[in-house]
C-alpha cells in the first residue's frame, strides 16, 4: 500500500511541477496603438502576463523598417475600488537608446490608457499620453 501512496504523490508532484504557475493575465495578447501624443510609441505589441509580471515584444514605426521593442513591467490585480494598474518599460532595440516608461490602467472597456515619458528622443525627457486597444 505504501508504494502505491508514494507513486501517487510522485505523480501528483510531477504534474504540479509541469503545470503553469499562473494563468495568463488580462494583459496577455495582441495590442495596437489606439491614440498617442507625439513620441515614438510601439504601434503593435504582444504581451504575456503571468501573475504581476508582464513581458512582451512590439514594433514602432521606423523610417525604413519597424523598430523592434522589448517590453517588461508589472500589473496589479483589479480590486473593488481600483482597476488593473500597469507599469511598462519599452526598450527600442535599434532606436539609439530610446526608452519609454508607461504608467496606466486597464479600463473597463478593455483599453490600456495612461501617461508615457520618452527618454533618449531629445536631451530632455518627453512626456505624453498613450492608449492601446485590442485589434
22-133 has CATH 2.40.128.30 classification: yes
Q: How many C-beta atoms lie closer than 10 Å to residue 29's C-beta?
A: 15
What confidence tens digit (pLDDT) does each residue in 49-82 have?
A: 999 999 999 999 877 888 899 999 999 988 888 9
Q: Which three cell numbers stand for residue 53?
A: 509580471
Q: How far apart are CA 15 and CA 93, in angstroms?
A: 38
Q: What is the pLDDT of residue 17?
A: 53
pLDDT tens digits, 100-114: 999 999 999 999 999
Phi and psi at residue 47, to the nearest 5°: -110, 150
User: What are residue 128's DSSP bridge partners?
Assistant: 116
Assigned C-alpha cell, 105:
490602467
Pairing state of beta strands 126-133 and 67-75?
unpaired
Q: What is the C-alpha radius of gyration for the chain, rounded to an integer number of angstroms?
A: 19
Q: Which residue has cell 513620441? A: 39
**CA dist 6 → 13, 16, 19, 58 (Å):** 10, 15, 20, 47
pLDDT of residue 65: 83
Is pTM, for the whole model, over 0.85? no
Amino acid at each position: 500500500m505504501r508504494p502505491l501512496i508514494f507513486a501517487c504523490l510522485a505523480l501528483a508532484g510531477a504534474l504540479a511541477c509541469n503545470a503553469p504557475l499562473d494563468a495568463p493575465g488580462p494583459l496577455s495578447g495582441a495590442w495596437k496603438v489606439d491614440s498617442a501624443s507625439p513620441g515614438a510609441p510601439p504601434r503593435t505589441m504582444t504581451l504575456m502576463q503571468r501573475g504581476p509580471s508582464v513581458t512582451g515584444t512590439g514594433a514602432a514605426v521606423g523610417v525604413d523598417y519597424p523598430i523592434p521593442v522589448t517590453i517588461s513591467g508589472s500589473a496589479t490585480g483589479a480590486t473593488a475600488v481600483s482597476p488593473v494598474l500597469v507599469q511598462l518599460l519599452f526598450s527600442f532595440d535599434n532606436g539609439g537608446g530610446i526608452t519609454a516608461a508607461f504608467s496606466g490602467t486597464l479600463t473597463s472597456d478593455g483599453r490600456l490608457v495612461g501617461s508615457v515619458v520618452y527618454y533618449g528622443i531629445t536631451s530632455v525627457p518627453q512626456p505624453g499620453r498613450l492608449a492601446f486597444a485590442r485589434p
